[in-house]
Amino acid sequence: MSTEKKISKFPNRRQFIYGGLGAGLGIGGSIWAWQQLGRSRLSDSTVPLKGETHLPKPQGDPSNPLVFLRNFDYGTIKQENGRTIREFRVEARTSTLQLNNAVSLISWNLNGQVPAPTLRATEGDRIRVIFFNKAGHPHSLHFHGIHPAEMDGVKPVRNNQVFIYEFDAEPYGVHPYHCHIAPVTRHISKGLYGMMVIDPPEPRPQADEMVMIMGGYDVNEDHKNELFAFNGKPNYYMQHPIDIKQNQRIRLYLLNMIEYDPVVTFHIHANFFQVYPTGMTTTPTQSSDVITMGTAERQILEFSYRYPGEYMFHPHQDAIAESGCMGMFNVIS
């Protein structure tokens, strides 16, 4: 099929973004105006209380980006031969993902959610991931980290088969995991990716912790992304700003899983963050308000907001931001 024919059949990036909203609203130039439409806030912000070491688990559907944001799966803890085992159960599925009012996508996912659950352990634990492929065709799970070749997750797990990935949680840091079946671009951009957080043996100081994973969607299968998102849903955090508290330390586990576009930045408004590269340090190495990340690169960023109000965050590739990778912090006094 010729490229021209494909283009004429499918809406362009701008049409994807504005989707069902655009048609009825006569959008001219202001992205701001429509972002106000349908805006609502969920009241499930989870901020640590003084003296609290373990945050309550956010309630609700983890495919809701506001729930996903602060939802960490610590697995089922078992003791075997004096070691702590963290056992995770995940299931590959194929299901429809509604990206906006007009656009949906057949996603390949874990447990029905894009991104996949955020797995969390402490360095030195043993991680056991029981992977059941019910997606209809072969997938795998490839974890970044240090492990033997047979646990590297590049071999296909066929439909209706189970594979158990087991390895030591090392090194501490923020690591992606994803399907590694060719073409990997397609398997990742359709949703089979997530984050694994490995905490250092000495825990990091208390903070309001959140996960943000940047992803892209090649909706018309032209090997380019038409839509982008933080945590799966384009523009979700513009329509549902993330409540945070004034002067509260935010710890952001940030991962870039955008295929096709090799590099993005991440920028926060009206503030600076401290950078812990790959999450592999316990002291920051630099401060900035913008950081550059290739695909699969990740960082821990820490910051707090001095003044109440609403502040955008987004890649500073503004075409990507304007195609769904945009969000807002709502700082509450």
Residues at the contact surface with Cu ion, assessed by CB under 5 A = 139, 179, 181, 187, 192
- Which of 186, 249 has the CB closer to Cu ion? 186
- Which of 180, 298 has the CB closer to Cu ion? 180
Query: Minimum distance from CB of 187 to Cu ion (Å)?
Result: 3
CB 327 within 8 A of CB 230: yes
Query: Minimum distance from CB of 225 to Cu ion (Å)?
Result: 18
Tokens for 217, please give them. Answer: 């969607």
Q: How far is CA 292 from CA 70, 82, 91, 238, 255, in A?
A: 24, 42, 32, 22, 11
- Which of 192, 301 has the CB closer to Cu ion? 192
Query: Minimum distance from CB of 264 to Cu ion (Å)?
Result: 22
C-beta neighbour count of 17 within 10 angstroms: 25
Query: Minimum distance from CB of 136 to Cu ion (Å)?
Result: 11
Q: β-strand 250-256 against 286-288: which pairing, if any?
A: unpaired
Q: β-strand 118-122 against 193-199: which pairing, if any?
A: parallel
Query: Minimum distance from CB of 269 to Cu ion (Å)?
Result: 36
Query: Minimum distance from CB of 151 to Cu ion (Å)?
Result: 17
C-beta neighbour count of 219 within 10 angstroms: 19
Q: Give the Cα separation of 321 and 333 in Å (integer).
A: 27
CB 223 within 8 A of CB 184: no
Query: Minimum distance from CB of 133 to Cu ion (Å)?
Result: 9
Q: Give the Cα separation of 263 and 315 in Å (integer).
A: 10
- Which of 192, 227 has the CB closer to Cu ion? 192
Q: Give the Cα separation of 240 and 230 in Å (integer).
A: 12
- Which of 139, 240 has the CB closer to Cu ion? 139
Cα dihedral 256, 260, 265, 269 in deg (nearest 10): -90
- Which of 15, 185 has the CB closer to Cu ion? 185
Cα dihedral 291, 43, 68, 78 in deg (nearest 10): 120
- Which of 139, 233 has the CB closer to Cu ion? 139
